[in-house]
Amino acid sequence: MGRPGGDPLHQHHRPCTPAEAAERLDRLLACQRGLPAPAVFAVREGAIFRGLVGCPPVDASAGTYGLFYQLLPVCWGRGLGLAAAQAALQQLDRLTPALVLADTVAENTASVRILERLGFVRTAVRSGAFRREGRALDIWDYALRRGGSDGSALRDGPHITEK
């Protein structure tokens, strides 16, 4: 699960090495410097680290943030991704966001379900925009206007575009 624009902080549905995770965390923490509230969090079960979740700014002055979550494979399929994303969005409300962006590889059906359950609306399809193991995969972009939790502001008229 990642953010629009091919951000190197996000790898779509692929576990990363500890070194990659540490580098990614350093960059994510740097993104939140200067914000009045934290935007990136560790996901834990008890004292056990399970992943990262957050809503770092895309353009804080415009109230635009990007939702991401990355969990260890041992956590996949247990509902922890949805719970973590819900918690990150609740924390983000302290920053009064206008728009939250997200993206996912189309074949990552778990992330598609999470985003849609949270009220995100698909806004674009980037055909073949991500490569994994020699395969070109589609990326689906999503958006959520925080003024209406049901995403209704995004459902007026056609909104899915092919890029």
Tell me, yes or no, whether 6 lies in a domain. no
- For the chain, percent of residues with pLDDT exceeding 70: 78
Mean pLDDT for 118-124 is 96
Say whether pLDDT at 122 is over 50.
yes
Q: Residue 163 — pLDDT band, cuts 50, 70, 90?
A: very low
Q: Is residue 12 part of a domain?
A: no
Residue 131 has pLDDT above 70, yes or no: yes
CB of 128 closer than 8 Å to CB of 141 = no
CATH of the domain at 144: 3.40.630.30
Q: Confirm whether 48 is domain-assigned.
A: yes
Mean pLDDT, the chain, rounded, equals 79
Residue 34 structural domain: 18-162
- Name the domain count of the chain: 1
Q: Tell me how far apart the terminal alpha carbons of the chain are, to the nearest angstrom.
A: 19
